[in-house]
């Protein structure tokens, strides 16, 4: 028994079929039988090319072992038949082509042999090749059916698995008891952001001030007021019957049902104040009717403004809370670009903006009574104390320190 061809020989076999077909097509003395064989060889070559794409293409199909052996056997049979026929035909090729071999007598006898000796052999070869082509097509069709059956079986198994998963999910409890799952409205803290949006916050996220501050940094990201939150220039207060109450002791103050507001701290320098009334930090208009020391509501944009000094004692001590007027790294400009959208402010009134300009040389006394010199970098305000401070660079060692304005002297 001949050795079975591998799938890698399929294209070579298809090229062999096309080569024989080309020789016969160019033969001027070939009869109808030969032309029928040409058509059969070309059809076989096309079928073999399709087979190569199925088993060796970008998405090859894995044939069953028995089908694969049967296909390889048919390929080997085709190879034997066509190779033997090609060997016999090559002897006639020169005399049958247009113009012949140059010897008219020899070409005539060869054409007679081509016409008489090969007709039955041509018919037999055509029938054998047709049988093998039909066998290959039937085996491939059977393989496709088997593959479809495997896909259908896998789909049925997946459907059974999904049905079981659905039944298991229906048996799970609809809620685990967390307040954010709904149904526990009395276990939430109501939160009003700086724009005026009101939303419920689960009490579990309000247990400590640090947890709530972390939540605010996430919530205000890319929202109006984000720069105040990032620099911690804000305070949290409770709204109770229209009154604003600072939250000094968080753990003992926060209970389900209360309403917490976020108010951004706005420093109003003496040069920005309006003598005839109060200036709204949001729309920048002067409110002449605002006479309440605790604060006012803007009649133009509806912004709620409260005086920081009036509520200062109710807020926790945060000595690091500093307002910088310098629009450099870590500073908030006054006004900030998003201030027109903010509707809740705490206004901290301050004196003159600065007695010393950036770059000015100043002096001060240290604790040992020595006179030291420095250069002003920027100035700001300790919001809770109301103290103007300066960030200076000391000339002796280049260190940058923060000093209150009261100890500095111009040079």
Please tell me the predicted confidence (pLDDT) of residue 372: 94
Instruction: Please report, for the chain, the start and end positions of each structural domain, with discontinuous segments joined by +.
Output: 7-161, 183-349, 361-410
From the CB of residue 383, how many other CB atoms can be counted at a distance below 10 Å?
Answer: 24
Pairwise CA distance, residues 399 & 406, whole Å: 20
The answer to whether 212 and 241 are in contact (CB under 8 A) is no
List, in order, residues 6 or more apart from 373 with CB less than 8 Å away.
361, 362, 363, 394, 395, 396, 411
Considering the segment(s) 361-410 as one domain, its CATH architecture is: Roll (2.30)
Q: How far apart are CA 141 and CA 146, in angstroms?
A: 9
Q: Where are the alpha helices (DSSP H) in 92-219?
A: 93-96, 104-117, 119-170, 209-219
CB atoms within 10 A of CB 244: 20
Sign, CA torsion 349/351/357/360: negative
Q: Which residue has the tokens 């903006």?
A: 353
Q: How far apart are CA 260 and CA 142, in angstroms?
A: 73
What are the pLDDT digits (tens) for 259-291? 999 888 888 877 777 777 888 888 888 887 766
Using DSSP, state whether 75 is helix, strand or coil. Answer: helix
Helix then strand then coil, % of the chain, to nearest 5: 45, 20, 35
CA atoms of 322 and 338, how far apart (whole Å): 19
| Distance separating alpha carbons of residues 270 and 347, to the nearest angstrom | 12
| pLDDT tens digit at each of 411 positions of the chain | 344 445 567 777 778 787 877 777 766 455 566 677 777 777 877 777 777 776 776 656 666 677 777 777 877 888 887 887 777 766 655 555 555 445 544 444 344 444 444 566 777 777 877 877 777 777 667 666 666 666 677 778 888 888 888 887 777 666 555 555 555 556 789 999 988 899 988 888 888 888 999 999 999 988 888 888 888 888 888 888 767 777 878 888 888 889 999 888 888 877 777 777 888 888 888 887 766 778 888 988 989 898 887 776 777 766 556 665 543 333 344 455 777 889 999 888 877 767 788 889 999 998 888 999 999 988 877 776 677 888 899 999 999 998 888 899 998
Tell me which residue of 193, 347, 343 sits closest to 262, measured CA to CA: 193
**Contact between residue 229 and residue 217 where contact means Cβ atoms under 8 Å apart:** yes
- C-alpha distances (whole Å) from 118 to each of 86, 90, 121, 124 are 12, 13, 5, 10
**Which residues are CB-neighbours of 111 under 8 A, at least 6 positions away?**
29, 95, 96
pTM of the model: 0.50
For residue 390, count CB atoms less than 10 angstroms from its CB and return exposed for 0-12, middle for 13-18, buried for 19 or more: buried
């Amino acid at each position: 028994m001949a050795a079975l061809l591998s799938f890698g020989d399929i294209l070579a076999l298809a090229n062999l079929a096309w080569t024989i077909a080309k020789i016969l097509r160019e033969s001027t003395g070939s009869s109808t039988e030969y032309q029928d064989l040409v058509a059969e060889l070309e059809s076989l070559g096309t079928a073999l090319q399709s087979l190569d794409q199925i088993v060796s293409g970008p998405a090859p199909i894995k044939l069953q072992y028995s089908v694969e052996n049967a296909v390889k056997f048919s390929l080997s049979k085709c190879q034997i038949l066509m190779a033997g026929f090609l060997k016999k035909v090559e002897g006639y090729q020169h005399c049958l082509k247009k113009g012949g071999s140059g010897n008219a007598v020899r070409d005539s006898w060869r054409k007679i042999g081509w016409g008489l000796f090969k007709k039955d052999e041509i018919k037999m070869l055509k029938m054998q090749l047709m049988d093998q082509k039909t066998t290959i097509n039937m085996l491939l069709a059977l393989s496709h059916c088997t593959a479809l059956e495997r896909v259908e079986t896998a789909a049925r198994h997946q459907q059974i698995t999904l049905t079981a998963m659905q039944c298991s999910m229906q048996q799970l409890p609809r809620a685990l008891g967390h307040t954010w799952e709904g149904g526990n409205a009395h276990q939430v803290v109501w939160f009003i952001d700086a724009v005026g949006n009101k939303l419920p916050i689960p009490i579990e996220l309000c247990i400590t001030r640090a947890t709530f501050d972390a939540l605010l940094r996430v919530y205000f990201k890319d929202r109006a007021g984000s720069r105040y939150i990032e620099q911690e220039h804000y305070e949290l207060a409770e709204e109770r019957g229209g009154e604003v109450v600072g939250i000094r002791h968080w753990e003992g103050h926060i209970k389900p049902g209360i309403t917490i507001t976020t108010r951004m701290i706005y420093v109003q320098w003496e040069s920005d104040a309006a003598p005839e009334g109060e200036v709204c930090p949001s729309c920048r208009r002067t409110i002449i009717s605002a006479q309440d020391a605790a604060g006012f509501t803007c009649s133009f944009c509806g912004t709620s403004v409260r005086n920081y000094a009036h509520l200062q004692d109710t807020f926790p001590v945060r000595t690091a809370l500093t307002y910088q007027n310098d629009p450099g790294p870590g500073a908030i400009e006054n006004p900030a670009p998003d201030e027109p959208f903010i509707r809740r402010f705490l206004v901290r009134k301050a004196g003159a903006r600065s007695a010393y300009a950036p770059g000015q040389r100043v002096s001060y006394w240290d604790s040992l009574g020595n006179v030291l010199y420095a250069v002003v970098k920027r100035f700001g305000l300790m919001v809770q104390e109301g103290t103007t401070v300066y960030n200076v660079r000391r000339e002796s060692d280049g260190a940058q320190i923060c000093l209150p304005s009261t100890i500095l002297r111009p040079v």
